[in-house]
Chains A and B, each alone.
Chain A
Amino acid sequence: MDYMLNEDLLAIKEICTEIGDKHILPIRAELDEENKFPREIMNVIAQSDLFTIYIPEAYGGTGMGSMALAVATEELSRYCGGVAVSYAANALGAMPILLMGSEEQKKKYLPMLASGEKLCAFALTESEAGSDAGGVKTRAIKDGDHYILNGTKQWITNGGEAQIYTVIALTDPERGARGASAFIVEEGTPGFSYGKKEDKMGIRASATRELVFEDCRIPAENLISREGFGFMVAMKTLDNSRPGVAAQAVGIAQGALDEALKYAEQRKQFGVKINSFQGLQFMLADMGTQIEAARALTYAAAGLIDSGSKNFNKVSAMAKVFASDVAMKVTVDAVQILGGYGYMKEYPVEKMMRDAKITQIYEGTNQIQRSVIAKAMIKEAKRK
Chain B
Amino acid sequence: MKFVVAVKQVPDTAEVRIDPERGTLIRDGVPSIMNPFDAYALEEALKWRDELGGIVTVITMGPPQAEAVLREAISMGADDAILVSDRAFAGADTWATSHTLAAAVTQLGDVDAVFFGKQAIDGDTAQTGPSVAASLDWPQITFIGKVRELNEKQITAERYVETGTQVVQADLPVVVTILKDANVPRVPSLRGKMKSRKAQIPVWGLVDLGLTEEETGLNGSPTKVVVTATPEARTGGQIHEGSTEELVSKLADLLLGEEGGE
Contact = CB atoms under 8 A, between A and B. Distances in A.
Interface in A127-152: none
A47 B194 contact: no
A49 B197 contact: no
B190 A62 contact: yes
B88 to A, nearest CB: 35
Interface in A28-50: 44, 47-50
Interface string A40-68: 00001001111011000000001000000
Interface stretch (B124-132, B181-189, B213-221, B252-260): B181-189
Nearest to B197: A7
A18 B189 CA distance: 11
A73 B191 CA distance: 18
Nearest to B193: A11
B117 to A, nearest CB: 17
Contact of A22 (B187, B191, B193): B187
A380 interface: no
A11 B192 CA distance: 10
A48 B188 CA distance: 6
A62 B192 CA distance: 12
A26 to B, nearest CB: 12
Contact of B187 (A7, A19, A52, A53): A19
B187 A8 contact: no
Nearest to A44: B187
A232 interface: no
A376 interface: no
A63 to B, nearest CB: 11
A11 B191 CA distance: 10
A22 B197 CA distance: 23
A12 B193 CA distance: 9
Nearest to A51: B190
A221 interface: no
Contacts of A52: 190-191
B186 A47 contact: yes
A44 B190 CA distance: 12
B191 A15 contact: no
A14 B193 CA distance: 10
B185 to A, nearest CB: 9
Chain B interface mostly: helix
B189 A48 contact: yes
Instruction: Give the size range of B's interface with the partner.
Output: 10 to 19
Contacts of A47: 186-187, 189
A53 B193 CA distance: 13
Contacts of A7: 197
A222 to B, nearest CB: 30
Interface string B158-181: 000000000000000000000000
Contacts of B192: 49
B197 A48 contact: no
A50 B188 contact: no
B190 A50 contact: yes
A11 B194 contact: yes
A49 B191 contact: yes
Nearest to A12: B190
Contacts of A12: 190
A69 to B, nearest CB: 12
A161 B186 CA distance: 23
A23 B193 CA distance: 19
A62 B191 contact: yes
A50 B191 CA distance: 10
Contacts of B186: 44, 47-48
A14 B75 CA distance: 12
Contacts of A44: 186-187
A8 B191 CA distance: 10
B197 A53 contact: no
A15 B190 contact: yes
B187 A18 contact: yes
Interface in B191-223: 191-194, 197
Interface in B14-45: none
B50 to A, nearest CB: 10
A51 to B, nearest CB: 10
Contacts of B193: 11, 14-15
B249 to A, nearest CB: 34
Interface string A286-310: 0000000000000000000000000
Nearest to A45: B187
B15 to A, nearest CB: 16
Contacts of A23: 187
A13 to B, nearest CB: 11
Given A15-B190, A15-B193, A47-B187, 15 more contacts: A7-B197, A11-B190, A11-B194, A14-B188, A14-B193, A15-B188, A15-B189, A18-B187, A22-B187, A44-B186, A44-B187, A47-B186, A48-B188, A48-B190, A52-B190
Interface of A: 7-8, 11-12, 14-15, 18-19, 22-23, 44, 47-50, 52-53, 62
Closest 10 CB pairs of A and B: A49-B190, A11-B193, A49-B189, A48-B189, A48-B187, A18-B187, A49-B191, A19-B187, A44-B187, A15-B188
Interface of B: 186-194, 197
7 contacts: A11-B193, A15-B188, A15-B189, A19-B187, A48-B190, A50-B190, A53-B190
